[in-house]
Homo-oligomer: A and B are copies of this chain.
Amino acid sequence: LSSCVCLEKSEYNTYSYDPTMYGRYTQDLGVYAKEEAARLREGSQRRSVSERSRTLDLLEYDKGRCAKCRICTVRCQKFLISRVGEDWIFLILLGLLMALVSWVVDFCIAICLQAQKWMYGGLDSNVFLQYLAWVTYPVVLITFSAGFTQILAPQAVGSGIPEMKTILRGVVLKEYLTFKTFVAKVIGLTCALGSGMPLGKEGPFVHIASLCAALLSKFMSLFGGIYENESRNIEMLAAACAVGVGCCFAAPIGGVLFSIEVTSTFFAVRNYWRGFFAATFSAFIFRVLAVWNRDEETITALFKTRFRLDFPFDLQELPAFAVIGIASGFGGALFVYLNRLIVQFIRKQKAINKFLMKKRLLYPALVTLLVSTLTFPPGFGQFMAGRLTQKESLVTLLDNRTWAKQGIAEEFDYISHSQAWKHPQVNVFVTLVLFIVMKFWMSALATTIPVPCGAFMPVFVIGAAFGRLVGESMAAWFPDGIHTDGTIYPIVPGGYAVVGAAALSGAVTHTVSTAVIVFELTGQISHILPVMIAVILANAVAQSLQPSLYDSIIRIKKLPYLPELGWGHHEYYNIRVEDIMVRDVRYITLNCCYRDLHDVLLTGHLKTLALVESAESMILLGSIERAQLQSLLSQQLGRPRRLEYIRERAAAEKKRLSVVSNPGSEDGSQRANHEVRFQVREATARGAHISRARFSWFFFCWQFFCSVICPLQSSPSSSLLLFYFLQIAEWEEQQLDEQVNFNNCKIDPAPFQLVERTSLHKTHTIFSLLGLDHAYVTSIGRLIGVVSLKELRKAIEGSVTVKGVKVRPPLASFRDSGTSSSENEATELHKLWDRHKSMSLPREHVPSDSDEKSQ
């Protein structure tokens, strides 16, 4: 393991994790991850070495006529292998793979949706049968998808962007980048989207691309050593995220930007190249496949628009675009809020929760039934264009013709799918409003189903519908356009749809790059200024109300996170580290004894502890991981040493006794010795099953004495037992008083340090730059405090009041209602912890907070 100072990723914890929305994360001390990594590395090294030696053996063995030929081949092979290490080969392979996956998934989804239409169309004689077909098909698909992912890899559930953000921050999420997850995600996603529910493929594609990258680099590491480098893999994951978005929308630039905004807080410009390269290649192949498949004549945009170029919009239409932006901002915040509310409602209702947890597939089936019943075309669906798939409705919404010129729905010439928006009795405005309202809650609900799914595309469609609504209203209001200089330029509602789509999806995800995605999706950039203005306004509104959808999921899933600094809060510059740091630092000194170690391990639960020179000087020398200390302590006072001591004692005792009782019989003493050994082993085995708290240790000792010592002595007196107990206790105390030997202990010699005057703003920057978990605060080498992610989070989210400045984002009260449960949990945790303290020996695996909370 490369042992860098502060970018050391394995300082972080591994989260073993139940990835449904109801799940919580449990953490164990990064040990597993390290061991796993070491094992893998060792394994692959051994493999490659053995492989190479085998090749040479072969060469040696086969010194026939084609030896030269073989040598040449081996050399070529070596050259190829050295080339394989190049980044660009990896990126091209990744792009190719993802383009293929994306295309195949799209193809399968299209077939699924066609099948549903065919079934529905074929049964048009009987409405009930039609309904059954319309409803059963998605229910079956969604249930299968949910069940399949649940069984194969529960990690595949959901969008994947929140988890990728966490992984890119340096946290190791277990089982998150495995082949099983890949299979579950791809098949689950295809089924889920094939059902026609309002779900998206963008978030999952980010995850799939990362899976591809991880698996590819695992595969490539068979050839070259470079693929084992950890920081390189992180960089490749960042590029993979860009590829995911890029090949999903055929939008390379937007993909790169979106993935940056969504997954990073600090971005290396050199990764940006990688992302561009891979995403462009991927988008290119993705579109070329469409051309080869005769779907398209040449490479064009996915949702091509044909707005006029010479006069795309009037300057006086800008207020309308601004209104779309602001309304989308509120809408986006509402969507995030609604989504979280649904999750929390289901979680809180214990009765429902219990029932749903038992029958895990019932919830998806129920939600699907509800949604598909409402969209049933001959039923309510006729008022909300229910028979259109997501793609079809987007195409119609971006249409460059006006639907409701002068308010009369009859006037426009419907073609193909646009027909669906027309209803003989109902105005097109009503249809649009119904579509927006229904799809809004349906999407918020559908994205809580435990299947692989994203929320980007549904939100995008809703935004387009909202934009179309505003555009149609404008067109009805100004039938001849606003421009007054002679020429008539009618208003283009399709342009409004583009603006609305970008604004709403931008508001939900807190990104501005949706603007770029929208240009790349439609193939036209003429509306750049309205789109940018609307997206920025939407972001400004949404960011002041709610976290982004991905951050919201991160909080729901209790992944470790660092909130963003909202901008415009210059209090951040005035708060100093000394205001927020924890002054009562747990530390160990260089000359401490095992007793201190023991006490420190008992009282705190930090993952790393500071090592100082002495309690007086407090000069910080480094930090030690808790696991290291625990292994030190267990070396000194663990079962092996204890057993050894007892065995020694027993042997001495036995000798003494045998000398006293029967000095002559040699074989008898041998037999007794045998017996002692056997019983020691038996007692050890028994003891291993018992919990490790101290009382059990005494119990174990008691057993041991009863079984080993007592048989040797004909009449065991209670005073003798007491004497043994005291002796053991004395030995223990003696062991604890010895000075700790740090020689074989891994010490991080340069933990990250801050000084007390560092501002909160700078601290946040450093934490997010380096992906820190905690930092020590020192004053000329003296340790005076510690700041961890928790304190930082608290200070930013507003529960610290210093110097009269209340650090609280505006409208935070609105936000609080969503996350108030966390404080209750904290108090519960405290109780648990207090109860826990009564057990006095340090456990080897300290369960984390979340572990206890989930009890």
Contacts and interface: CB of A to CB of B under 8 A. Distances in A.
Given A315-B291, A516-B253, A758-B3, A267 B266 contact: yes
Nearest to A275: B512
B780 A533 contact: no
A755 B770 CA distance: 16
Contacts of A288: 315
A779 B748 CA distance: 9
Query: Interface residue tally of chain A, by bracket?
Result: 35 or more
Interface of A: prevailing SS: mixed
Nearest to A756: B3
B298 A315 contact: yes
A623 to B, nearest CB: 11
Contacts of A284: 529, 532-533
A778 B755 contact: no
A426 interface: no
Contacts of A523: 309, 525-526, 528
B780 A621 contact: yes
A693 to B, nearest CB: 35
A233 to B, nearest CB: 11
A97 interface: no
A536 B301 CA distance: 20
A852 interface: no
A536 B758 contact: no
Contacts of A269: 260-261, 264-267
A358 B284 CA distance: 57
B231 A781 contact: no
B298 A312 contact: yes
A747 interface: yes
A261 B280 CA distance: 18
Given A5-B754, A231-B761, A781 B749 contact: yes
B298 A313 contact: yes
A762 B268 contact: no
Contact of A276 (B287, B483, B526, B532): B532
Nearest to A228: B573
Interface in A1-20: 2-7
Given A267-B267, A309-B523, A311-B297, A758 B5 contact: yes
Given A231-B762, A300-B312, A306-B309, A273 B3 contact: no
A376 interface: no
A252 interface: yes
A229 interface: yes
A524 interface: yes
B567 A273 contact: yes
Contact of A567 (B231, B274, B311, B759): B274
A585 interface: no
A619 interface: yes
Contacts of A782: 749
A287 B533 CA distance: 14
A268 B265 contact: yes
Given A280-B529, A524-B525, A529-B284, A232 B573 contact: yes
B264 A512 contact: no
Contacts of A280: 529, 532-533, 536
A652 interface: no
A147 interface: no
Contacts of A287: 529
B297 A229 contact: no
Nearest to A277: B536
Nearest to A257: B257
Contacts of A3: 755, 757-758
Given A232-B570, A749-B780, 19 more contacts: A3-B757, A86-B570, A87-B567, A231-B761, A231-B765, A232-B761, A252-B532, A253-B528, A260-B269, A273-B567, A284-B529, A299-B315, A523-B526, A523-B528, A621-B781, A622-B781, A749-B753, A749-B779, A750-B753
20 contacts: A4-B754, A4-B758, A6-B766, A229-B761, A231-B765, A260-B269, A261-B272, A265-B268, A266-B267, A270-B564, A272-B512, A273-B539, A288-B315, A298-B311, A299-B315, A306-B309, A520-B525, A520-B528, A749-B755, A769-B770
Question: Which 6 pairs from chain A and chain B are nearest by CB?
Answer: A750-B753, A226-B570, A280-B532, A525-B525, A749-B780, A3-B757
